[in-house]
Amino acid sequence: MDSTRARKSLSDLVALKVVGTPISALTCYDYPSACLQDEAGLDIIFVGDSAATNVLGHAHQNDLTVEELRVLVQAVNRGIEQAYLLVDLPYCACQATAVMRSAASQFTADGANGLKFEGFQPDAVHALSSDGLEVWTHLGYLPQYHAQPGRVANDPESAETLFKQALELEAAGAAGLILELVPSELARKVAEATRFPVIGIGAGTGTDGQVQVWHDLVGLSEKEFRHAARLAETRTVQARAVHVYLKKVAHREIPGS
């Protein structure tokens, strides 16, 4: 890693928003993937709590612990030269502001540039931003709190509520916002009314940028989601390689030393 090369800062991301350049973001959970994403020029590399189900084999992302995620954050951090590193606060760390502060400080020590948590919590945003942390929030569909994925804020009343919440979170000191599975016009309205970066997933093309789950994007996951861009079938390629390997071993075709 070239230690003389500066990573993207929040100011760099805001500057992209100002000039209308879309911001790119992907989840990431390991060193090799971080190197690949960073070398490609990704703006934000995001260690999400989706690591729980995609990498660690948990039944639900809420089973993830701070200690488990710290190992992944440290690994991803080692692979980054130029991208902004964003990290989720696990569900277990979001039940009290004091616990959020403790987890946030640990992830910052591990290399995180920004920390994200779900839901409308302006008091927590104010507390963490007062600590000097770059705090990102998440509105719309909330995986930690909603049982099934589904579009939210479909009616005028709930859309107006979400819009006002976004403005209040910014006023509380939020550094950025993830909007998931909300109507595209609402997402565009939020992005246009705010100064911080608004990153969408399943929220149309009018946000300041897009985020996707790495395992969905490259086809490592078995499930497919309507709002996921599946641009490769890596799982199929890897499975084929294992079957070829088994055949070669059986026929003594794998070279030795």
Nearest to 83 by CA among 44, 114, 47, 48: 44
pTM for the structure as a whole: 0.93
- 230 falls within a domain: yes
Domain count across the chain: 1
For residue 3, the model assigns a pLDDT of 42
- 154 falls within a domain: yes
Rounded-to-integer distance, Cα 158 and Cα 152, Å: 8
Using alpha carbons, list the distances in angstroms from residue 92 to 64, 73, 186, 195. Answer: 8, 17, 30, 30
Q: pLDDT tier at 1 (50, 70, 90 boundaries)?
A: very low
Domain hosting residue 209, numbered range = 10-250
Here the CATH number for the domain that contains residue 182 is 3.20.20.60
- 5 falls within a domain: no
For residue 5, the model assigns a pLDDT of 63
Catalytic positions are 180
- 147 falls within a domain: yes
Q: pLDDT tier at 9 (50, 70, 90 boundaries)?
A: very high
